């Protein structure tokens, strides 16, 4: 296949960026989207042009590093897929593909397609954990957890922290990310002890980072590579409301 790529290039957060056009020739349908960028970068370097910076690591859809808007959609056209797991067989010969970084003011561009997602870490630091020190655990089977609860916790815990939910949301809300962690922990007895403080602190940090609010577009769920349900957001709102009425 031969394709045309329009790629966002930006030297740094202080300089304006723009879309630049690059041809991609002899693209195999078995290539992943990131291997396509590898190919383009190899060509660019040959021509003395600085390669396109983009985040990636595991290339197996689990580390959450890759973060590209492909034709205006977070992680591209396939559902339940990170862009590293998107293959070129999803495109056809002659296509023009636009590649941009995550769109959100809470994720400032570092360079080209790389953004700063440290806000996510700061939200988790506010309470996305069970406060238990190493060594003070009871026997694992002393905490019985109904299979259904364990499964629900796992559904939420599958979040890879990529930020697609934010990038896809017209409001730039991080509700799905925050809700996933709150629900992972609240489904488990170990996580319920700190539920109120956790919900308050994580939501407060989310607001402070400049993320928008949820107005039920459901774009986050559609973009989520792990298909985490927006039901989590409803449950988080309930958690937050209950927490707001509970003693500090």
Per CB under 8 A, which of residues 58..97 are in contact with another protein? Answer: 58-65, 78, 80-81, 85-87, 89
Distance CA 26, CA 1 (A): 5
124 lies in the site for another protein, by CB under 8 A: yes
Query: What is the torsion angle, in degrees rounded to the nearest 10, for the CA atoms of residue 148, residue 153, residue 154 and residue 155?
Result: 90
DSSP designation for 59: S
Binding segment for another protein (CB under 8 A), chosen from 69-77, 93-101, 123-131, 213-221, is 123-131
- Least Cα distance to 33 among 116, 126, 113 occurs for 113
Q: Which of residues 29-58 bind another protein (CB under 8 A)?
A: 30-32, 34-35, 38-39, 41-42, 45-46, 48-51, 53, 55-58
Residue 198 sits in the site that holds another protein (CB under 8 A): no
Phi and psi based region of residue 123 (left: phi greater than 0; alpha: psi -120 to 50; beta: remaining): alpha
**216 near another protein (CB under 8 A):** no
| Cβ closest to another protein, residue 69 vs residue 114 | 114
Using the contact rule CB under 8 A, the part of the chain among 93-101, 169-177, 182-190, 239-247 near another protein is: 182-190
State the number of binding residues for another protein (CB under 8 A): 80
Q: Are strands 96-101 and 73-74 parallel, antiparallel or unpaired?
A: unpaired
H or E element, residue 5: strand 3-9
């Amino acid at each position: 296949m031969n394709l045309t790529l329009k790629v966002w290039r930006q030297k740094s957060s202080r300089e304006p960026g723009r879309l630049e056009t690059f041809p991609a020739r002899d693209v195999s349908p078995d290539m992943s989207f990131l291997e396509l960028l590898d190919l383009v970068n190899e060509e660019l370097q040959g021509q003395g042009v600085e390669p396109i910076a983009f985040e990636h690591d595991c290339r197996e859809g689990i580390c959450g590093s890759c973060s590209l808007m492909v034709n205006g959609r977070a992680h591209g056209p396939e559902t339940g897929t990170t862009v590293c797991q998107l293959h070129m067989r999803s495109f056809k010969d002659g296509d023009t593909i636009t590649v941009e970084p995550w769109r959100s003011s809470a994720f400032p561009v570092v360079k080209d397609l790389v953004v700063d997602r440290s806000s996510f870490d700061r939200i988790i630091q506010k309470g996305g954990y069970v406060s238990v020190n190493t060594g003070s655990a009871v026997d694992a089977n002393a905490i019985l957890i109904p299979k259904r609860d364990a499964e629900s916790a796992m559904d939420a815990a599958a979040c890879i922290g990529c930020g697609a939910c934010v990038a896809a949301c017209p409001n730039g809300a991080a509700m799905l990310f925050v809700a996933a962690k709150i629900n992972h922990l609240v489904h488990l007895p170990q996580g319920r002890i700190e539920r109120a403080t956790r919900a308050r602190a994580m939501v407060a940090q989310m607001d402070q980072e400049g993320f928008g609010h949820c107005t039920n577009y459901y774009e986050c769920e559609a973009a989520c590579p792990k298909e985490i349900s927006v039901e989590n957001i409803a449950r988080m709102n309930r958690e937050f409301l209950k927490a707001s009425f509970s003693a500090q």
